[in-house]
Amino acid sequence: MELEIRLDNTGFPMVWMNSIGAYVQWLPITKIQIEYFLASTNDAIFDQVWYENILVSNARIAPTQIRPSNYWQIFTTNILPREAVRYANWCGRGYTLMMAAEWQQVYYEASNIPYDGSILQEVIKTKDIKERPKTLIERLARALPKAAGEFTLADVMLLRNGIMEYVFEDFDRNTFVGLGLTNPDFVGSFKRPEDPQVLNNPSEGRRMRNYGFRLMYRGN
């Protein structure tokens, strides 16, 4: 299968998803990407203290340290949904969180695409991809748990067995829900990835060690 791939503003890959007519990040936002953000944003709340606080419950690891027992530590979690929106704004025009219905469509599409090694090769050989994201993606693919059934694009994109992901609840974009499925060795869950998890405070959220996000990009 030939994928349509582009790199985001931090050099990490995004893949075109026909179901929503947009590019979606190959993985949830990593700590490497947040560090690029911290180094360049003028938003005063995102300082070293802020970063140290979000690392408390999910410590940082380098791509070379990725193992089956810790791979979720590469992702940015313990973040608030409004902070995720500010990151998206920093990325530039066209970047945004998905709405719940869009995330579900992406999940269903990816779940019906069987995964094989050629897909990974397409991603890591994307033109202009740098060594850090390439190493991270390769190491992560080797560390992923085996699926109970057929291994699909949804598995390798960590739409399940990764982290929970903030999405907009609906078109109003004022409230948030969580979608996805956390690896049970990180935080146990008995829900299906495509079933929204309602937040206690849907307009603001709260810091949770297994909650992060990924963006979509729809150019104009």
Contact status, residue 175 vs residue 168, Cβ threshold 8 Å = yes
What average pLDDT score do residues 7-27 get? 97
CA distance 145 to 155: 9
Q: What is the pLDDT of residues 74-100, one digit of tens each?
A: 999 999 999 999 999 999 999 999 999
Give me the pLDDT at residue 197, please: 77
Give me the pLDDT at residue 19, please: 97
Give me the pLDDT at residue 1, please: 67
Q: What is the pLDDT of residues 23-32, one digit of tens each?
A: 999 999 999 9
Give me the pLDDT at residue 204, please: 80
Domain count for the chain, please give it.
Answer: 1
The percentage of residues in the chain with a pLDDT greater than 70, rounded to a whole number, is: 95
Q: What is the pLDDT of residues 156-196, one digit of tens each?
A: 999 999 999 999 998 888 899 999 988 888 876 666 777 67
pLDDT over threshold 70, residue 7: yes
3-class state of residue 83 by DSSP: helix
Of 103, 96, 81, nearest to 208 (Cα)?
81
pLDDT over threshold 70, residue 16: yes
What average pLDDT score do residues 58-84 get? 96
Domain carrying residue 133: 5-217
The pTM of the whole model exceeds 0.85:
yes
Cα dihedral sign for 201, 75, 39, 98? Answer: negative
Q: What is the pLDDT of residues 119-156, one digit of tens each?
A: 999 999 999 999 999 999 999 999 987 765 678 999 99
Cα dihedral sign for 114, 151, 163, 171? Answer: positive
